[in-house]
């Protein structure tokens, strides 16, 4: 059976962030992930993890001004130094919190920047980040994100991500495969996961349309979960969806998978 982690940015979000750890543990999760830890002290997060017996499996590198609509700066030619400083800060948090992998959001292509410039900057930044994370014993992930939800996002298809991995050539760089984003951009979920399985370091889920919990939309999750077992995907699956009502009310899908 796949191993599921609660994404605390999305789940239990009616509660203050630091209170979501206990809610996740009480709901049966052994692991959590979230977008960013940087608004909190390491000690605060570590205490919540320890108190609730949870493992933190993922957070992102700093991604610019999120509240202002930025969704990453790794493809921005004019913010390379900011990106590099963010890598150092992310490694510090990761080592303190026991995180083994960090996700890098490429960002939206800035006005006046060509696709070629954005790619060159992204590859250069990933080369730097992968080397820094490898020295710390960490994996680096990159995540294709659909351009319906985030117009202009640079990295948006699995094949594109695989090409960038090949160009960077780092053995600790992998794809974060988000089933929801992939369904919106390209479909062919099972065949794509199988094809790129050696390059996939982490999977996330939500149903489509609506980005709600599995079973609320068009994606055949019972088949996919069985399929991931069959092809021997051994990583975590992050539950990064918007609960249709409350998180607890929508967890029947998880109980069915666990049976």
Of how many residues is the chain composed? 259
CATH number, domain containing residue 237: 3.20.20.150
- Which residues of the chain carry a pLDDT beneath 50? none
Res 7: pLDDT: 98
Res 88: pLDDT: 98
Give the count of domains, the chain.
1
CA nearest to 125, candidates 92, 164, 68: 164
> Strand pairing partners for 59?
102
Q: Is 59 exposed, middle or buried (0-12, 13-18, 19+ CB in 10 A)?
A: buried
Res 258: pLDDT: 66
Distance, in Å, from the CA atom of 160 to the CA atom of 103, rounded to the nearest integer, reads: 16
The range of the structural domain enclosing residue 107 comes to 3-258
The residues, ordered by sequence, that sit 6+ positions from 208 with a Cβ below 8 Å of its Cβ are 180, 183, 184, 217, 218, 219
Res 256: pLDDT: 85
Helical H segments across 77-230, by residue range: 80-97, 115-135, 158-168, 179-185, 189-196, 221-230
Residues taking part in catalysis: 143, 240
């Amino acid at each position: 059976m796949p191993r599921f982690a609660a994404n605390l940015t999305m789940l239990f979000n009616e509660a203050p962030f630091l209170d979501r750890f206990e809610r996740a543990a009480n709901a049966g999760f052994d692991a959590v992930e979230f977008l960013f830890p940087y608004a909190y002290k390491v000690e605060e997060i570590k205490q919540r993890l320890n108190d609730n017996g949870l493992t933190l499996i993922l957070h992102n590198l700093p991604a610019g001004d999120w509240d202002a609509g930025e969704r990453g700066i790794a493809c921005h030619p004019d913010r390379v130094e900011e990106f590099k400083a963010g890598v150092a800060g992310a490694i510090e948090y990761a080592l303190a919190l026991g995180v083994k992998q960090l996700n890098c959001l490429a960002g939206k292509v800035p006005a006046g920047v060509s696709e070629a410039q954005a790619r060159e900057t992204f590859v250069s930044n990933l080369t730097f980040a992968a080397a820094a994370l490898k020295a710390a014993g960490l994996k680096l992930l990159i995540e294709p994100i659909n351009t319906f939800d985030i117009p202009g996002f640079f990295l948006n298809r699995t094949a594109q991500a695989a090409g960038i991995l090949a160009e960077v050539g780092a053995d600790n760089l992998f794809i974060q495969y988000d089933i929801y984003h992939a369904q919106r951009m390209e479909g062919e979920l099972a065949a794509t996961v199988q094809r790129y399985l050696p390059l996939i370091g982490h999977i996330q889920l939500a149903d489509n349309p609506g980005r709600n919990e599995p079973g609320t939309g068009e994606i055949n999750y019972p088949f996919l979960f069985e399929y991931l077992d069959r092809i021997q995907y051994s990583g975590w699956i992050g539950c990064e969806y918007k609960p249709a009502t409350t998180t607890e009310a929508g967890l029947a899908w998880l109980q069915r998978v666990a049976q």
